[in-house]
A and B are shown apart, each in its own frame.
Chain A
């Protein structure tokens, strides 16, 4: 049984790269190109891991985090924010919004999978 991962990301290149990387590493990937779509898919498919791009055209990534946490997705779902802001305070903002972890853009394919797995494991340990 493959682990389901939902990616919420509007940039096609990034989406392609992330999904390609994840699929090659043996995950089942669900793709959402907007906040609304991602929110809907999270409810329909109940993926184990959700990766959210913070800067989306329709919705703030933090906002999606808060909504997901308060609208009935399983509690053990791991939510990870992916951001290129790196303005400082992104980590706090993410955790405050209910995310379990935070990975900085640009994505480094060499380390991304290991970072994601470690956040997911920590979450399930709790």
Chain B
């Protein structure tokens, strides 16, 4: 009971939170109080230190004012009022920073001398006319000795003390020597100098000996502060030093208390929250559990209904299924057979139960089927077999049976469920098939013999063919090497053919230059013919060599920058004699004075030469027009003639090697017919395109375009 009570208390978040709050509050406030006590002790120590220091300073001030006043008094008693009063006074004032003025008062109470004059314009003032100014003066006269008056509200402002010494010459009172010390300044200085170490304000008081009342040196009222009054031993009167601590130290304790209080609230709130949280979680879990239990119940009920339903379905299905269905237990004993099974066996339901069903098996099959069944039961495996049933009415049915084991989730055998179908028809068919098969086999073996003979013949044939293909391969290699040999031959011929041509053309030219002597007209004419034929032959040789290089794939081009316009002009200059002789005009349309082309100069010139000389060759009249255009970064050149033109069917064959159009034996124009084929190859090799447009009888336009730079 006690346990449950404490448990209950602990479980109640409100109680936990509140008790945490109380405990923390008390602890923190206790600590704050202790802190406060420590602070106060430290403060008291500090106050004592400060009081001692200030007391010594005050004592020093009082002592010095005493000695200063007396010294002045003595001087006057002995020598009368000195002429150099100011000098003496200045020396005296130097002694202490809080001395404000030195005065002399005559026997009637009139102030006769003051130093410094500035700020002390009181000469001629009678001190006896004012109670404050005369305070302590009469006392001095009465005592016939030094006395300190104060606190005195000074005429110059501030509150101070006045040290007076009565001067008696020949027993007669002749006046006072006086030193005024403004103690309010001293105190103000102390208060202004409060710093980290000095956390106090100070006030000084003295009991008025006439009224017996305590009077203060600072005018500000400090009664609202908590202060410590310490009596100070000074001569002449009861002095008290008030020490007023600044709030700082106490504040730390208060802060401590406040923060402690706030933390108590926060922690107790957390305690309340977290204890409450566990309660809330518990509630949540309980609710969830209840929901789940309800759901489980629902599921259970639904499942039961479903099982009932499926049981009904199973029974209905098995009863009316057109196959035999049976059930056995884990011992292999029959527990159920359906209508169809009973139809095959001619048995009643009860007759089939346990091992009664085995009696339905045809006697010849019985031992085999029993063995198979026992094996399936003992091995927990499937049962599969074909056998005959002998009906009581004598009818034999061939059955194909299959039984699947039933196991629970732990893989324990519960029994078997099986079906058996009537396969009598199939068995009958199979028997017939077997007969067929036997016949067929005989036939096949006969055929196979025939085929194997054919195969052998085929293999022989294949072998022959293989031999032939090897021969062919050899031939191919031979042909290829012949190609190579042809190329090598052509390369050699290139040099060998050209060397004699070099001589023929060269020497003819030399002779024509008449270095060796003057030629007559006929000699010159004939030599010119030799030169012309030589150049023509060289052209043919070059064409043949080029085309063979192209066919051997050995044509190489090299790229360099050159001026296309210059090349074109050179070619036109070279060909114009031919044009002039046929009364043809060559016109050019060049948009630029200079076109720098990066290509194979010699090959480009070869193409130009071919196209323009073709134009001359196939024109009988008109103009040959050469247009040069820059399209994007392609240089396009058109050679337009007004010659015989080319028919449509011939246009296709134009760039094919060895074909001169309008050909056959009736060639009307000299040439190999290789020029255009070579030109096409060259232009394509140089990254360009070439095309032709033509109409029979009206002329042709050849256009080739080359990239300015590859």
Complex CA distance for A13 and B538, rounded to whole angstroms: 17
Name the residue among B500, B507, B538 with the largest chain A CB count within 10 angstroms: B507
Contact B501 A106 (CB under 8 A): yes
Complex CA distance for A20 and B605, rounded to whole angstroms: 30
Closest residue of chain A to B513 (Cβ to Cβ) is: A109
Complex CA distance for A8 and B555, rounded to whole angstroms: 28
Known interface pairs A89-B556, A106-B538. Does A84 touch B510 (Cβ–Cβ under 8 Å)?
A: no
User: Of the candidates B506, B513, B602, B603, which one forms a contact with A106 in the assembled complex, judged by CB atoms under 8 Å apart?
Assistant: B506
Contact B510 A14 (CB under 8 A): no
B168 shortest CB reach to chain A, Å: 132
Known interface pairs A20-B510, A21-B510, A91-B558. Does A14 touch B502 (Cβ–Cβ under 8 Å)?
A: yes
A34 shortest CB reach to chain B, Å: 17
Complex CA distance for A108 and B498, rounded to whole angstroms: 13
A2 shortest CB reach to chain B, Å: 17
A36 shortest CB reach to chain B, Å: 21
Contact A55 B513 (CB under 8 A): no
User: Of the candidates B500, B509, B538, B556, which one forms a contact with A87 in the assembled complex, judged by CB atoms under 8 Å apart?
Assistant: B556
Contact B506 A109 (CB under 8 A): yes
Complex CA distance for A105 and B538, rounded to whole angstroms: 11
Write out the residue numbers on chain B whose beta carbons fall within 8 Å of the beta carbon of A91: 558, 560
Complex CA distance for A17 and B501, rounded to whole angstroms: 13
B507 shortest CB reach to chain A, Å: 6
User: Of the candidates A17, A21, A87, A92, which one forms a contact with B503 in the assembled complex, judged by CB atoms under 8 Å apart?
Assistant: A17
Contact B505 A88 (CB under 8 A): no
Write out the residue numbers on chain A whose beta carbons fall within 8 Å of the beta carbon of B515: 20-21, 24
Write out the residue numbers on chain B whose beta carbons fall within 8 Å of the beta carbon of A86: 602
User: Of the candidates B495, B500, B538, B556, which one forms a contact with A88 in the assembled complex, judged by CB atoms under 8 Å apart?
Assistant: B556
Complex CA distance for A103 and B680, rounded to whole angstroms: 26
Write out the residue numbers on chain A whose beta carbons fall within 8 Å of the beta carbon of B509: 108-110
Write out the residue numbers on chain B whose beta carbons fall within 8 Å of the beta carbon of A89: 556, 558
Q: How large is the interface on A (under 10, 10 to 19, 20 to 34, 35 or more residues)?
A: 20 to 34
Write out the residue numbers on chain A whose beta carbons fall within 8 Å of the beta carbon of B696: none
Write out the residue numbers on chain A whose beta carbons fall within 8 Å of the beta carbon of B600: 88
Write out the residue numbers on chain A whose beta carbons fall within 8 Å of the beta carbon of B603: 88
Write out the residue numbers on chain A whose beta carbons fall within 8 Å of the beta carbon of B170: none
Name the residue among B507, B509, B560, B600 with the largest chain A CB count within 10 angstroms: B509
Known interface pairs A24-B515, A88-B557. Does A107 touch B506 (Cβ–Cβ under 8 Å)?
A: yes
Write out the residue numbers on chain B whose beta carbons fall within 8 Å of the beta carbon of A122: none
User: Of the candidates B500, B502, B555, B560, which one forms a contact with A107 in the assembled complex, judged by CB atoms under 8 Å apart?
Assistant: B502
A11 shortest CB reach to chain B, Å: 6
Write out the residue numbers on chain A whose beta carbons fall within 8 Å of the beta carbon of B494: 84-85
B697 shortest CB reach to chain A, Å: 38
Contact A17 B560 (CB under 8 A): no
B499 at the interface (CB under 8 A from A): yes
B504 shortest CB reach to chain A, Å: 9
Q: Which of B483-527 contact A (CB under 8 A)?
A: 494-495, 498-503, 505-507, 509-510, 513, 515
Contact B507 A17 (CB under 8 A): yes
Complex CA distance for A14 and B602, rounded to whole angstroms: 23
Write out the residue numbers on chain B whose beta carbons fall within 8 Å of the beta carbon of A85: 494-495
Contact B498 A14 (CB under 8 A): no
Complex CA distance for A13 and B557, rounded to whole angstroms: 30
Closest residue of chain B to A87 (Cβ to Cβ) is: B556
Write out the residue numbers on chain A whose beta carbons fall within 8 Å of the beta carbon of B505: 106, 108
User: Of the candidates A17, A84, A92, which one forms a contact with B498 in the assembled complex, judged by CB atoms under 8 Å apart?
Assistant: A84
Write out the residue numbers on chain A whose beta carbons fall within 8 Å of the beta carbon of B513: 24, 109-110
Closest residue of chain A to B491 (Cβ to Cβ) is: A87
A102 shortest CB reach to chain B, Å: 11
Closest residue of chain B to A25 (Cβ to Cβ) is: B515
Q: Which of A78-97 contact B (CB under 8 A)?
A: 84-89, 91-92
Write out the residue numbers on chain A whose beta carbons fall within 8 Å of the beta carbon of B507: 13, 17
Write out the residue numbers on chain A whose beta carbons fall within 8 Å of the beta carbon of B558: 88-89, 91-92
Write out the residue numbers on chain B whose beta carbons fall within 8 Å of the beta carbon of A17: 502-503, 506-507, 510
Contact A105 B510 (CB under 8 A): no
Closest residue of chain A to B515 (Cβ to Cβ) is: A24
Write out the residue numbers on chain A whose beta carbons fall within 8 Å of the beta carbon of B506: 13-14, 17, 106-109
A sample of 30 inter-chain contacts (CB < 8 A) reads A13-B500, A13-B502, A13-B503, A13-B506, A14-B502, A14-B503, A14-B506, A17-B502, A17-B503, A17-B507, A21-B510, A84-B494, A84-B495, A84-B498, A84-B502, A85-B494, A87-B556, A88-B600, A91-B558, A91-B560, A92-B560, A106-B498, A106-B501, A106-B502, A106-B505, A107-B506, A108-B506, A109-B506, A109-B510, A110-B509
Q: Contacts A85-B495, A110-B513 given; 9 further ones with Cβ under 8 A?
A: A11-B499, A17-B510, A84-B498, A87-B556, A89-B558, A91-B560, A105-B498, A106-B502, A108-B506
Question: Which residues of A are in contact with B by a Cβ distance under 8 Å?
Answer: 11, 13-14, 17, 20-21, 24, 55, 84-89, 91-92, 104-110
